[in-house]
């Protein structure tokens, strides 16, 4: 630094300056015709050189402008802030990038990026930040020596930074560039790129050891959620495994006893338990999505396991395993020497390829269920109603996905029963005013679950005997499930009513399809009750007709609704036309029997 | 109702004296419900248009036919919200805008006839309406709470005893609530006004002490409105409770720089500077991804306290309005534009609770089979003709009501009428009465075996003794609160008021003789100090008398207690002497640190 300063000073005093002046004046006449400005260009180069050697002064001035700019931006005086930052840019413009000023080059662009993004001028921000990115990359390729930090411009010689500290600060500035670019790409809707930059930011934090473990872990866990919704389970699992490993670096959760004695310990306990529970919830989603996506791959057009497809996927599996693991893994990896193995060992505990049979599905399910227990331990019903229920809903969904893989209908039915057992009491106990949305979700899910159980019971009975001779016990059970399903659909519909109990004439967009589907399904359920009494049959058929007609008439009055329930509407029309005939036949029979 | 989007209004105020002094130009124009903003630097660049539910022009004077008065704003927004509250909905009014853009004027207004803002008008209207009630079976009660959220910490503005941060919790029956937040009983608008003023004072004191500005904190004033109806037949009470939340949103985007998320909708193109907010960015990214399909991920980023507390207002069972205050001046162009964009985004907020439906392909297939079976059955019985008619008829219905009315009575229709069901009957009546809470006991005929899946079984919930004790205490607290009678509530309110006042007296803040602490009551002839604040709501709401003789200002053992960061133990001393004419003549002595008291003025 001192040496450079000296150099700069002597350079500025060099006789070159006077030489150059005369050179510029006289020799321009002697420029060759095919290069008329040769001397001018030469002069410019010289000027630049001199300016650069005076570069330290420029950089210092630039730094002052930079600090003034940031200061103004911080006090929300954006135009003044912009002016100072641009002055800094102008001062730097005339200099070559060197270890002396590269840090300022990056910093000022970072700030301008923030400034312009704040004005919704995202492209302008992008320009500044991308330039910063390429300046960094070129510098690291061509020079790479630890650059002077801005603070050193104004520091006494003895308090200059170590090389290590210089590198640390410089790299941190660039990490910020990465982070800002992630946000800019996000705002531009380039999510893929944004995710990559977030990933890079995380990776750099880990590599440069600039992170707090729990915060980092939670961020990695969150990034996993991006990957799993993209169907990229390999990356998702990697993020989650890294999250688990790094979160352990945050230390042990203080015991309850310790927490009671000490406020700080109590806060720490709360913090660690909450974050761990949140990471557990990210794992639940991983397991759940993996199972659900696998199900989508394997199901036939009515949602049953397609065994041909299963065989086909199993055959394709071997190739996939090798290629994917190898190819993708080399691309992005978190961790250092010491964490790498622990991350890998967690990855091994759960698959990232689609489970293709019950055994595989069960292994994914169990991992998910473990995390459910962990998450519920912190997010208890009392105090965390919404969170607790969301976890239960996930647990229920895990069972639903597992049931798909289960071949034994009896066991499958029991899995659905578990879902009912966990959701039903909650649905009935919650305050309808505060938890309207959650209750609606629960009602719908309960209705569907009962319906599913009803179908399974019937299928089981049919397997054992033929339809005509269903025993009384089975019929009772079937009807119970049928009415429970109808009850919850009806409860859902009632929840749409105004405080005065009136059903809305126009359904809100969000509930339009669910409401019409609920009507449709109530209609169907009523026609499925098994009864020997013609009066009961008639009553059920009339109720069924009523609901089919509602769907038809609603879509007539609100034609735009038709598009959301196309198939259901078509069938409702058919049934609204056919059921009266069935009803009349029944009536006729009743009349003749009397 | 659910999903109903937020009603959004913007309002532009007149120039203030500083803007007039600087020859400010107006960059806002309004036409109907459209607001247009032009860039003063690039006038040719074309103005930007935004359409809202209301665009209020209050830049000129009431003589201007296009001028919107306080009354009009209340009629459009406040009254509608109040009516919803009577219906039993939770309602919420957000005010947003840069500090000095007129937010306080719209919400609070001035205490002059015709100048009151939405809140005073709404409260007055509320008590007017409840006062007109003659039904002996219908009783009303109103309670209020006032809290501030600063850096994700909640503090009670009405209870001086409540120090530090309050916990936010969720209860299965009571919904989201702030633990230990005082809810004070009120009987008229003056009570509300006094409490609001007291809360603003507390907010100001805290802000001054901690060197904060109101522009970074949210304030939530909640009116809990209960309508109790006694049924003479059964002598049972039914209660309808609605919450009216009036939210003063942090004016500055920098409320976020603390890592606080603020309102979710606030996230625009802004870049978060600090890496501590990386989590927020990743969350938003994951959210962007998941909103495209079903919600299938978990975003660990905790909702901000505000979003969380008001979640039932941001979609769900509530009605919400938002008013953004705009500055007309060219110098504020950037900020005003960003306010407009914010308001524009607010239009699109909808609740995100979706019904995840199972695919019903199987059901559809079964039903198609049944349709087919029914058709065949009918066909085999020679009823094809009838069937065709039925289908035609159905098509007629689809072609419009005319088709139905004009259709000749076909055999099918006869059949239908004979059933007492005609297609003209309109939509079928909605199903059974709403199932009331607790009305669904477990079916005794439960036919399903409670077979447990042993291996998949979950571990039973273990709670420690301490936790159990804690839970019990919380529950008891809730029960006690629920059992409190109205009289008890009023008594509690009064005792908290006294505590509040004694605290202010202790600090040297002066109180009106009748105990009210409202506003600045011009104390003629008495020298005094008044606090200043960039936020008009918080300005001039603390008043300190300078008594005759010596008045000491500082941290401890003083007459006027200030406890800010830069306040010395004995900060300065005022001496007030009366001269022969009986006029007070005063001097400031030892004002060495007067820089820090520069918020105070009005030393007459």
pLDDT at B385 exceeding the cut of 90: no
Contacts of A461 in chain B (CB under 8 A): none
Task: Please list, residue by residue across A31-50, b when 16 or more beta carbons sit within 10 angstroms of its beta carbon and e when fewer do.
Answer: eeeeeeeebeebbeebeebb
Region of A75 (left: φ > 0; alpha: ψ -120 to 50; beta: rest) is alpha
Nearest CB to B357; choose among A79, A284, A514:
A514
Phi first, then psi: give them for residue A515, nearest 5 degrees: -65, -45
More confident residue, B362 or A552: A552
| Closest by Cα among B100, B99, B117 to B108 | B117
B592 band by pLDDT with thresholds 50, 70 and 90: very low
Query: In Å, how far are A298, A316, A408, A438 from A311, measured between CA atoms?
Result: 10, 9, 19, 39
pLDDT at A422 exceeding the cut of 90: yes
Judge whether B103 is annotated as a binding position: yes
pLDDT above 90 covers a percentage of chain B that reads 13
| Closest by Cα among B256, B305, B261, B257 to B149 | B305
Reported as half-sphere exposure (CB side, CA atoms, 13 A), residue A3 has a value of 0
Average pLDDT value for residue range B595-599? 36
Task: Please list, residue by residue across B398-407, b when 16 or more beta carbons sit within 10 angstroms of its beta carbon and e when fewer do.
Answer: beeeebbeeb
Nearest CB to A437; choose among B351, B412, B416:
B351
Question: How far is Cα of residue A156 from the mean position of the Cα atoms in its chain?
Answer: 48
State pLDDT tens for residues B199-226.
888 887 776 665 555 556 788 899 999 9
Contact A223 B286 (CB under 8 A): yes
Nearest CB to B365; choose among A76, A302, A384:
A302
pLDDT at A16 exceeding the cut of 70: no
Q: Which of A287-296, A330-339, A529-538, B190-199 is the least confident region?
A: A330-339
Nearest CB to A494; choose among B386, B400, B435:
B435
Phi first, then psi: give them for residue A70, nearest 5 degrees: -60, -40
State pLDDT tens for residues B23-34.
889 999 999 999
A461 reaches B (C-beta below 8 A): no
Cα–Cα dist A76/B562, whole Å:
28
Contact B390 A577 (CB under 8 A): yes
Tell me what pLDDT residue B402 has: 38
More confident residue, B426 or B577: B577
Contact B391 A302 (CB under 8 A): no
pLDDT at B405 exceeding the cut of 50: no
Q: Which of A200-204, A284-288, A460-464, B213-217 is the least confident region?
A: B213-217
Judge whether B568 is annotated as a binding position: no
pLDDT at B311 exceeding the cut of 80: no
Contact A78 B316 (CB under 8 A): no
B174 band by pLDDT with thresholds 50, 70 and 90: confident
Q: What residues contact residue A467 under an 8 Å CB cut-off, 6+ apart?
A: none
| Closest by Cα among B96, B82, B1 to B52 | B96
Nearest CB to B394; choose among A285, A369, A576:
A576
Give the pairing of strands B175-178 and B168-171.
Answer: antiparallel
Tell me what pLDDT residue B98 has: 78
Residue with tokens 């982070």: A179
DSSP assignments along B270-298, one per residue = PPP-SGGGHHHHHHHHHHHHHHHS-----
State pLDDT tens for residues A84-119.
999 999 998 878 888 889 999 999 999 999 999 888
More confident residue, B338 or B543: B338
State pLDDT tens for residues A217-226.
999 999 999 9
Residue B8 token pair:
């959004």
DSSP assignments along B417-476, one per residue = HHTT--GGG-SPPP-SPPPPTT--PPPTT--S-----TTTPPPPP---HHHHHHHHHHHH
Q: Which of A127-136, A414-423, B461-470 is the least confident region?
A: B461-470
Tell me what pLDDT residue B251 has: 61
Contacts of B357 in chain A (CB under 8 A): 444, 448, 513-514, 517
A228 reaches B (C-beta below 8 A): yes
Cα–Cα dist A431/A439, whole Å:
9
Contacts of B390 in chain A (CB under 8 A): 577-578, 580-581
The answer to whether A150 and A166 are in contact (CB under 8 A) is: no
Residue with tokens 């301008």: A112
Contact B391 A577 (CB under 8 A): yes
Collect contacts of A304-312 with beta carbons under 8 A, ≥24 apart: A304/B362, A305/A404, A305/A405, A305/A407, A310/A356, A310/A357
Return the top range by mean pLDDT from B214-218, B280-284, B507-511.
Answer: B280-284
Cα–Cα dist B604/B546, whole Å:
10
| Closest by Cα among B282, B340, B347, B284 to B314 | B347
Contacts of A182 in chain B (CB under 8 A): 281, 285
Query: In Å, how far are A192, A452, A471, B19 from A529, measured between CA atoms?
Result: 51, 15, 15, 76
State pLDDT tens for residues B530-582.
777 666 666 666 777 777 778 888 887 788 877 776 777 888 888 877 766 65
Give the pairing of strands B34-37 and B48-51.
Answer: antiparallel
Residue B135 token pair:
């039904």
Contacts of A511 in chain B (CB under 8 A): 2-3, 355
Average pLDDT, chain B: 72
Reported as half-sphere exposure (CB side, CA atoms, 13 A), residue B119 has a value of 31
| Closest by Cα among B495, B523, B517 to B584 | B523
More confident residue, B263 or A445: A445
pLDDT at B443 exceeding the cut of 50: no
């Amino acid at each position: 630094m001192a040496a450079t300063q000296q150099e700069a000073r002597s350079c500025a005093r060099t006789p070159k300056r006077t030489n150059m002046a005369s050179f510029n004046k006289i020799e321009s006449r002697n420029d060759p015709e095919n290069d008329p400005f040769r001397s001018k260009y030469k002069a410019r180069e010289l000027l630049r050189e001199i300016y650069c050697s005076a570069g330290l002064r420029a950089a210092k001035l630039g730094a002052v402008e930079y600090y003034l700019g940031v200061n103004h931006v911080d006090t929300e005086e954006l135009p003044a802030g912009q002016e100072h930052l641009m002055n800094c840019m102008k001062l730097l413009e005339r200099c070559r990038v060197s270890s002396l000023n590269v840090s300022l080059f990056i910093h000022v662009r970072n700030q301008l990026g923030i400034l312009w993004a704040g004005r919704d001028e995202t492209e302008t921000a992008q320009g500044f930040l991308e330039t910063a990115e390429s300046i960094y990359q070129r510098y690291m390729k061509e020079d790479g020596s630890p650059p002077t930090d801005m603070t050193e411009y104004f520091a006494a010689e003895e308090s200059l930074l170590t090389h290590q500290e210089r590198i640390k600060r410089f790299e941190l500035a660039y990490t910020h560039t990465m982070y800002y670019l992630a946000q800019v790409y996000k705002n531009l809707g380039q999510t893929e790129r944004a995710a990559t930059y977030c990933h890079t930011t995380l990776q750099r934090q880990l590599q440069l050891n600039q992170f707090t473990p729990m915060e980092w872990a939670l961020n990695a866990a969150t990034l996993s959620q991006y990957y799993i919704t993209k169907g990229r389970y390999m990356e998702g699992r990697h993020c989650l495994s890294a999250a688990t490993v790094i979160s352990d670096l945050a230390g042990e959760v203080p015991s309850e006893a310790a927490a009671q004695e000490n406020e700080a310990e109590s806060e720490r306990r709360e913090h660690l338990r909450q974050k761990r529970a949140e990471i557990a919830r990210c794992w639940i989603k991983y397991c759940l999505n993996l199972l659900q996506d696998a199900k989508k791959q394997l199901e036939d057009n009515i949602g049953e396991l397609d065994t041909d497809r299963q065989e086909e996927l199993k055959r394709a599996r071997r190739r996939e395993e090798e290629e994917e693991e190898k190819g993708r893994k080399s691309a992005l990896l978190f961790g250092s020497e010491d964490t790498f193995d622990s991350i890998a060992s967690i990855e091994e505990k759960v698959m990232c390829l689609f489970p293709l049979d019950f055994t595989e599905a069960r292994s994914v399910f169990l991992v998910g269920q473990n995390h459910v227990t962990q998450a519920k331990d912190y997010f208890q019903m009392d105090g965390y109603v919404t969170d607790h229920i969301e976890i239960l809903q996930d647990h229920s969904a895990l069972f639903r996905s597992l049931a798909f893989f289960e071949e034994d209908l009896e066991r499958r039915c029991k899995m659905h029963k578990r879902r009912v057992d966990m959701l039903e009491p909650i649905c009935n106990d919650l305050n309808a005013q505060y938890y309207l949305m959650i209750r609606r979700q629960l009602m719908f899910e309960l209705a569907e679950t009962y319906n599913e159980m009803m179908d399974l019971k019937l299928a089981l009975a049919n397997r054992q005997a033929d339809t005509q001779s269903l025993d009384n016990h089975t019929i009772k059970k079937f009807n119970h499930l049928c009415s429970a399903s109808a009850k919850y659909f009806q409860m859902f519909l009632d929840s749409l009513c105004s405080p005065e109990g009136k059903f809305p004439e126009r359904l809100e967009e969000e509930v339009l399809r669910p409401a019409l589907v609920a009507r449709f399904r109530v209609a169907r359920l009523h026609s499925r009750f098994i009864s020997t009494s013609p009066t009961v049959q008639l009553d059920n058929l009339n109720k069924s007709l009523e609901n089919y007609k509602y769907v038809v008439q609603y879509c007539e009055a609100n034609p735009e609704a038709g598009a959301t329930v196309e198939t259901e509407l078509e069938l409702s029309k058919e049934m609204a036309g056919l059921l009266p005939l069935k009803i009349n036949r029944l009536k006729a029979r009743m009349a003749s029997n009397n | 109702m659910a999903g109903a989007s937020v009603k959004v209004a913007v309002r532009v105020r007149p120039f203030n004296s500083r803007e007039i002094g600087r020859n400010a130009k107006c960059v806002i124009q309004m036409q109907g419900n459209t607001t247009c903003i032009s860039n003063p630097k690039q006038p040719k660049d074309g103005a930007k248009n935004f359409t809202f539910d209301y665009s209020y022009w209050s830049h000129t004077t009431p003589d201007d036919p296009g001028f919107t008065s306080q009354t009009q704003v209340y009629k459009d927004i406040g009254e509608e919200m109040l009516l919803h509250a009577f219906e039993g909905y939770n309602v919420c009014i957000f005010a947003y805008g840069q500090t000095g853009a007129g937010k306080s004027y719209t919400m609070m207004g001035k205490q002059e006839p015709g100048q009151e803002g939405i809140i005073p008008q709404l409260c007055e209207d509320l008590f007017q309406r409840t006062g007109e009630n003659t039904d002996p079976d219908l009783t009303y009660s109103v309670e209020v709470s006032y809290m501030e959220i600063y850096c994700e910490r909640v503090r009670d503005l009405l209870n001086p005893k409540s120090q530090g941060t309050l916990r936010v919790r969720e209860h299965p029956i009571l919904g989201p609530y702030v633990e230990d937040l005082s809810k004070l009983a009120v009987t008229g608008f003056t009570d509300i006004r006094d409490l609001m003023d007291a809360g603003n004072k507390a907010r100001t004191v805290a802000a001054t002490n901690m060197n904060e500005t109101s522009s970074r904190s949210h304030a939530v004033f909640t009116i809990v409105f209960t309508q109790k109806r006694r049924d003479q037949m059964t002598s049972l009470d039914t209660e309808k409770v609605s919450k009216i939340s009036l939210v003063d949103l942090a004016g500055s985007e920098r409320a976020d720089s603390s890592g606080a998320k603020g309102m979710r909708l606030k996230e625009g193109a802004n870049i978060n500077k600090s890496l501590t907010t990386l989590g927020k960015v990743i969350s938003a990214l994951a959210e962007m991804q998941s909103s495209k399909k079903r919600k299938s991920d978990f975003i660990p980023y905790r909702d901000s306290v505000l979003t969380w507390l008001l979640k039932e207002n941001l979609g769900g069972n509530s009605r919400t309005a938002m008013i953004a205050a705009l500055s007309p001046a060219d110098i504020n162009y950037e900020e005003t534009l960003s306010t407009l964009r914010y308001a524009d985004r607010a239009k699109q907020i909808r609740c995100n609770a979706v019904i995840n439906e199972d695919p019903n392909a199987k059901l559809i297939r079964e039903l198609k089979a049944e349709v087919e079976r029914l058709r065949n059955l009918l066909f085999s019985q020679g009823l094809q003709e009838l069937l065709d008619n039925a289908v035609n008829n159905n098509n007629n219905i689809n072609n419009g009501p005319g088709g139905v009315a004009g259709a000749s009575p076909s055999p099918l229709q006869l059949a239908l009428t004979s059933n007492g069901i005609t297609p003209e009957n309109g939509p079928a009546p909605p199903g059974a009465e709403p199932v009331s809470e607790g009305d669904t006991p477990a079916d005794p005929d439960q036919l399903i075996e409670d077979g447990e899946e042993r291996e998949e079984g979950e571990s039973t919930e273990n709670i420690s003794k301490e936790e159990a004790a804690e839970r019990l205490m919380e529950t008891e607290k809730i029960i006690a609160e629920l059992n409190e009678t109205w009289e008890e509530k009023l008594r509690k309110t009064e005792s908290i008021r006294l505590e509040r006042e004694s605290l202010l007296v202790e600090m040297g803040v002066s109180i009106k003789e009748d105990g009210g602490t409202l506003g600045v009551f011009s104390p003629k002839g008495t020298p005094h100090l008044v606090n200043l604040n960039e936020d008009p709501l918080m300005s001039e709401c603390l008043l300190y008398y300078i008594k005759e003789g010596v008045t000491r200002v500082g941290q401890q053992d003083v007459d006027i207690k200030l406890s800010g960061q830069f306040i010395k133990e004995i900060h300065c001393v005022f001496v007030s002497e009366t001269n022969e004419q009986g006029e007070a003549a005063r001097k400031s002595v030892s004002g060495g640190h007067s820089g820090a008291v520069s918020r105070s003025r009005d030393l007459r």
